Structure 1
Amino acid sequence: MSVPLLYRLEHLEQYVTTPTRLDRTLDLCFGNIPGVYVSKPRPPLGRSDHNVILLLPKYRQKLKTEDIQTKTIQVWNDDSVDALRGCKEITDWEIFFQSCEGDLNLLTDSISSYLSFCVDAVIPTQQVKLYPNNKPWVTKDLKQCLNNKKVAFLQGDKHRVKQYNSELRRKTRLAKLHYKNKVEEKFTTGNAREAWQGLNTMMGRAQKPALIQCSDPATFAEQLNIYYSRFDRTHTQNDWTLTSSSSITVDKRKVTSILGRINPHKASGPDRLRGKVLRECSVQLGDVITQLFQHLLDSSFVPRMWTYRCRRNLTPGR
């Protein structure tokens, strides 16, 4: 006559106390420390006929997990780009040149500030939540299907759990296929940067940590600023001038062509204008940027904001 395992291990405690199939407890988990875990049922995986048991420790754990991040992004679509282009087309750029009265520093700062103001006023924004455990192919519809399955399981409706389980497998397969095709499309179109980002995300490769680790980034950045600008401390002239004996003529068509080829993923310059703005509005900004650069070249002048901010915008780890 065989003796049940529970009686042979009477000095150990069975942690699984909830039924796994109907009213029977098939899963066994023993331990020599009583009252350590609490068992909770979860929906079955795939086509399994018994529930999954989740063992949670009764003591409070100090988990080091990332918090949910809320990020504000700009929504660039055809309507917002057309509105931004229209804002640039109706702008009277001659007012900037007349009101500055030959002050090229004020002229450059005014045009840059106005362009940034137009982007903030016209391009809509949206707040998104970034979850640290989200897979890139997990969509909003997939999350809703998973939540419906959990609700049906808690209500004890086995028929609905089976339906949602089948629907969840189908939607998961389609979501993964859609994401795979999206990554492959990046390779075929020559966008290697985003393609490798997608592959790293699929493989779970974390981003490389910053090479410079410091407790106070602001203080460290200021120390770098002081070190690299030590040669300019004796320079008493606030404005920088260039000397050139040959006259240079700026061509509007070439300026427009160069603006249209700007990589929108590159970092912005000292004027804080994004490359996407200059590229999308290359036709509308070709005239004013041509005039601005022509004034700067004729005066052999470099605006203060282009030199000062280059020395101040030092960020550790970048």
Structure 2
Amino acid sequence: MLLPAYRPLLRHTPTQRTITVWPSDAVPALQDCFQRTDWQIFREAAVREGEVDLEDYTSAVLGYISKCTEDVTSTRTVTEYPNQKPWLNAEVRSLLKARDAAFRSGDRLALRAARRQLTAGVKRAKAAYAQRIQGHFTSNDPRREEPLSVTTAEVRRTLQRINPRKAAGPDNISGRVLKGCAYQLTEVLTDIFNTSLQQAVVPTCLKTAIIIPIPKTSTVSGLNDYRPVALTPIVMKCFARDWSWPTSRTASTSTVDPHQYAYRKNRSTEDAISSVVHTALSHLENKDSYVRLLFVDFTSAFQHSHTADPGPETHNTWTEPQPCVTGSWTF
């Protein structure tokens, strides 16, 4: 009888995060620096017995770009709150500070004007965020002739389409550098990509990734409540985007299952759900019909287990894949 009739809200503590501060003259300084750089020196220094050492060549170029970026930028620690909206930008933050200042001053007219400006700023921020999200769903026509090698025009176009807000990989080269200096970095990146295609080797520095555990729920009780997200170098993403079409077109569209939604362009889990719901509802329109759905979860099929032998040594073994049936529904 003494238990409260409601569950109190969980209090989430704010988190600290380090961000990179870009001055107004950072991108022009990088453009001027990369424009004056003789990229041929990096290639000549990586030649071993008449052949280019792709590992040294790529590592030297990416390290030079990262060092130049660190010279023109700085870092700052910011506080993030759990209820922070995704559309909240610098303009809305400044309007919030202006409204609070007007409220503390006691001027009603200034407070009323600050509130109007804040409302308009929030609408603009939400519209810009919605437009940015809708831009991710624009489809491109994949029917075009693919060259045997990557051209400078394709690399430049890929660099200009980079989202500057994406997190950088282990090389610490942000998308803002690659997009802002697309014209200055096109030649050297095209040379690296073509050398990789000719040697059929991907540099190790482009294959490394940082695994970031992201909580699936607000309250974490075990390791299974985390979702691993791999942060790969943005340069590798550009490289994969340039040569992915010739690779994907080796398989004819007639041999691909039309109900396959994974690893296909412009397909997602929402398309799979819509297809299942549409098929089920269309079938249920018939008289005396029913639908039975079987869901199979392979999440725990390949878990890594540790077993101990009777001897002194302990080694790791892989469990046998055992799919888990999570539900069977009948309508």
Q: What is the TM-score of this pair, normalised by structure 2? A: 0.48
Larger Rg: 1
Higher-strand-fraction structure: 2
Q: What is the TM-score of this pair, normalised by structure 1? A: 0.49
